[in-house]
Amino acid sequence: MPSLRIFVLNGPNLDLLGEREPHIYGTHTLADVEALCRRVLASRNVELAFRQTAAEHEMIGWLHEARRSAGIVINAAGFSYHSVPILDALLACECPVIEVHISNIHRRAEPWRAHSLLSGAAKGVIMGLGIDGYRLALEHLLQHLPTE
């Protein structure tokens, strides 16, 4: 049984990946993202908690659960731009947090999308690389796993 767990947490509308604005987000589905994450962790003794929600309070609960885990990869989607409660939950985390955005938020048409409130709580931010950003985030966390 794995002794370490990494959380991959996804925010609102990511359940529509592959259907919603494929010219921005691509044609991969959230199931494809989960399968990619599971492949990255397959040979490691690390459990994956992969979740998606459109409910801010649910995301906050998951962050509280994950705060002492081996790491968090978060694509907070629309929560990134306005959720101070999610920022506060991230700041309470004792593990490394990697923020992921499928699109490059600095290239988006809406100026408000270029600023994520959550980035200040993250060890690093990966954006604009499609779903490959999740792989890169997990690989980074794996290279920096806590020693027992």
- 101 is an active site residue: yes
- 134 is an active site residue: no
Distance CA 76, CA 47 (A): 21
Q: Which residues contact 54 (CB under 8 A, 6 or more apart)?
A: 11, 12, 13, 15
Task: Compute, in degrees rounded to 10, the torsion defined by CA atoms 113, 98, 37, 31.
Answer: -30
Residue of 25, 81, 82, 106 marked active site: 25
CA–CA distances in Å: residue 142 to residues 29, 65, 79, 97: 24, 20, 26, 12
Distance CA 132, CA 23 (A): 16
Residue of 101, 106, 115, 134 marked active site: 101
Query: Which residues are identified as catalytic?
Result: 25, 101
